[in-house]
Amino acid sequence: MSHLKNTFDNGTIKLKNRLVMPPMATAKAADDGKISREVLDYYDEKSKGGYISLIIIEHSYISEDGKASLKQLSVADDSCIEGLKELADTIHNNGSKAVMQLNHAGSLSRKEVTLNTVGPSAVINPRKLNDTVPRELTKEEIKEIVEQFRAAAIRVKEAGFDGVEIHSAHGYLLNQFLSPLTNKRTDEYGSDIYGRIKLHLEVIKAVREAVGDFPVLIRIGASDYAEGGTSMEDLRIAAKSFEKAGVDMIDISGGMCGFILPDNKEQGYFSELSEAVKNVVNVPVILTGGITEAAAAEKLLTENKADLIGVGRAILADSDWARNAIVNIL
């Protein structure tokens, strides 16, 4: 029996198989961040047949100041809820489950969307998508961001999604707090790993209290793959702390390196990181990264590198990928 076809049910999250479509920005939203016909058609096409058990919707901004780029989806105010309901219904009608990913871009905000570029510290983002030196956030502003995550999570639940994912990968704001490359603070939100995850724990607590038993996921930028970046020990401590704080699933990806490893063509190139997390937590772990063949996904599951496999760019390129994988794999 195929591991990829196996159902998953840990009492909190129930899935028909182990295939996940990870969040991938489409830039198809309306100018104000609302759900457009283009967005609905895109997710309708990807979820047709329900072969993907879980679709994680692309990163969506929790506030105007946290917006990353033009035509990004918004969860920043209640006027978004109606369109989000339509999106959730579209995916559910096709037989897949859907989770919304919440994000604040921090120092990765493009100049064309905000001039108020902020971060944990006044450090240019190593991903160099812009050359802006961010303004260091005050403690009062950090509290406001926690509240924005909480309010956004309530909207996602109200819109009928199956869960919410907190984005702390790919060099965005929470990842900036996690990484010693961008977090140079000397207050309680900086220095060691416990300080660098304080904001994460506050966000998880606020979201959990607001949504009750609604599934809460977190995507971790598990390594920066850079000297002085996040260490494997940091990752283990963070993962265990997030589980203890109430996270239901951990989604592994890259940190300041982004979502790819240019020198690594291996399918599942973050598997060393997902395996390390899987060894220290009891919640399910998602692995994404360069997986283009069902056989490779099957092998990673067989080797216990993760509980669920995210296939991104292959599904982006071919909307029949999931059907072919699930139908044809033994």
Give the C-alpha separation, 17 to 19, whole Å: 6
Q: CA–CA separation, 118 vs 289, rounded Å?
A: 28
Q: What is the mean pLDDT of residues 31-47?
A: 98
CA torsion sign for 316, 320, 325, 326 is positive
Distance CA 161, CA 13 (A): 13
Q: What is the mean pLDDT of residues 118-132?
A: 92
- Check residue 38 and give its pLDDT: 98
Average pLDDT over residues 165-190: 98
| Residue 80 near residue 34, CB atoms below 8 Å | yes
pLDDT of residue 205: 98
The 3-class secondary structure across the chain, one letter per residue, is: CCCCCCCEECCCCEECCCEEECCCCCCCCCCCCCCCHHHHHHHHHHHHHHCCCEEEEEEEECCHHHCCCCCCCECCCHHHHHHHHHHHHHHHHCCCEEEEEEECCHHHCCCCCCCCCEECCCCCCCCCCCCCCCEECCHHHHHHHHHHHHHHHHHHHHCCCCCEEEEECCCCHHHHHHCCCCCCCCCCCCCCHHHHCHHHHHHHHHHHHHHCCCCEEEEEECCCCCCCCCCHHHHHHHHHHHHHHCCCEEEEECCCCCCCCCCCCCCCCCHHHHHHHHCCCCCCEEEECCCCCHHHHHHHHHCCCCCEEECCHHHHHCCCHHHHHHHHCC
pLDDT of the residue at 128: 83
Angle at 182 (CA atoms; ends 176, 188), nearest 5 degrees: 80
Q: Which residues contact 188 (CB under 8 A, 6 or more apart)?
A: 195, 198
pLDDT of amino acid 330: 59
- pLDDT above 80: residue 86: yes
Give the pairing of strands 8-9 and 14-15: antiparallel
Confidence label for 1 from pLDDT (cuts 50, 70 and 90): low
Task: Report which residue type is found at 212.
Answer: G
The residues annotated as belonging to the active site are: 172
Provide the pLDDT for residue 122: 97
Residue 93's pLDDT band, with cuts at 50, 70 and 90, is: very high
Q: Which tens digits make up the pLDDT trace of 60-80? A: 999 999 999 999 999 999 999
Percentage of the chain beyond pLDDT 90 is 93
Q: CB–CB of 277/236 below 8 Å?
A: yes
Out of 111-115, 234-238, 313-317, least confident range: 111-115
- Residue 206: count of CB within 10 angstroms of its CB: 18
Where does the pLDDT of residue 120 fall: very low under 50, low under 70, confident under 90, or very high at 90 and above?
very high
- pLDDT > 80? residue 329: no
Residue 112 banded pLDDT, cuts 50, 70, 90 = confident
Q: What is the pLDDT of residue 40?
A: 98
The arithmetic mean of pLDDT across residues 79-93, rounded, is 98
At 131 the pLDDT is 84
What pLDDT does 114 receive? Answer: 84
- Report the DSSP pairing between strands 308-310 and 285-288: parallel
The answer to whether the CB of 257 falls within 8 A of the CB of 290 is: no
For residue 288, the cross-strand partners are 310
Residue 128 CB-density burial (10 A; 0-12 exposed, 13-18 middle, 19+ buried): exposed
User: What's the distance, CA 132 to chain centroid?
Assistant: 24
User: Distance between CA atoms of 230 and 248, rounded to whole angstroms?
Assistant: 23
* More reliable by pLDDT, 110 or 203: 203
- The 10s digit of each residue's pLDDT in 243-297 is 999 999 999 999 999 998 878 889 999 999 999 999 999 999 999 999 999 999 9
What value does the mean pLDDT of the chain take? Answer: 96
pLDDT band at 2 (very low <50, low <70, confident <90, very high): confident
CA distance 273 to 227: 17
User: b/e map of 248-258 (b: 16 or more CB within 10 Å)?
Assistant: bbbbbbbbbbb
